[in-house]
Amino acid sequence: MTHSDITPLAHQSQALLAAVRHDAPLVQCLTNFVSMNYAANAVLAIGASPAMVHAEEEAPEFARFAGAVVINIGTLSSPWLRSMLLTAQSAVESGTPWVLDPVAHHATAFRRDAIQRLLDLEPAIIRGNASEIIALAGGHSAGKGVDARDAVAQAEQSAHDIAARRRTVVAVTGEVDYVTDGTRAVRIAGGSPLMPRVTATGCALSAVVGAFAAVAKDDAYAAAVAALSCFGLAGERAAAHADGPGSFAWRFLDALAALDADCLTRESPLR
């Protein structure tokens, strides 16, 4: 992107961060057992309100008044899948934006079937690592379980193809993030090599993407860019003082909470 393209997008990201903190949107997370606590804390740190509501008996109803819904298939089971499908359908019917995190969707037949059924319910944003996105587009990835073994640059065409075909926004995260809606695209620098060494950092990002989607219902692309920009800056700041993954984990939450009024324009990570 050129400087003239990046500057308005950076200002938009800044405005969306202010909106999240002013509105404190309710973000419903149907996420995995491993990530629940850290994801909830990340949503709180950015200024939104997490609701870890996943039971089939109430999750679809909850989606009707949530600001956004985030569905993460990390610890998938048949009861969770039923609830996810019903909740995504409820979100679509209610006009609630929902975010899909296709964790290790290519690992087993159960997951491959589940992700196709969820994709058919039209997520506003898909957030995954490079290996997940390559596999989602039908390519051969080097991913192993939940771990990415492919570079983000290798997934850019796959992301573009999915976004254009599914009419959604795809955010690929890694060493340099990539976001596209099939027409527009941007790369986002920042972060830290310590991030993949902390369990649930990516899952927490998907939850934070939901917070931004809740305040940018008409522009999922801008929501994804703003969320990833915040994560990139917070990751850089936390890593500067961390001694390892343990201290990075809590420093990162502090850094998210401490993002100041003009950081996304003054220190824009957009490329």
User: What's CA 73's distance to the chain center, in Å?
Assistant: 13
Task: Give the annotated binding-site residues.
Answer: 52, 127, 173, 200
Residue pair 103/109 in contact by the 8 Å Cβ criterion: no
Q: Residues annotated in the binding site for ATP, as ranges? A: 127, 173
β-pairing verdict for 26-30 and 49-51 = parallel
CA distances from 125 to 2, 71, 100, 258 (A): 24, 11, 6, 26
Residues 6+ apart with CB under 8 A from 122: 92, 166, 167, 168
Q: Please state the residue numbers annotated as binding site for substrate.
A: 52, 200
Coil, helix or strand at residue 191: coil
CA 220/CA 40 separation, integer angstroms:
21
Q: Nearest CA to 224 among 213, 237, 214, 233? A: 213
Please provide the DSSP assignment of 78-124 as one string.
HHHHHHHHHHHHHHHHHT--EEEE-TTTTSSHHHHHHHHHHHTT--S
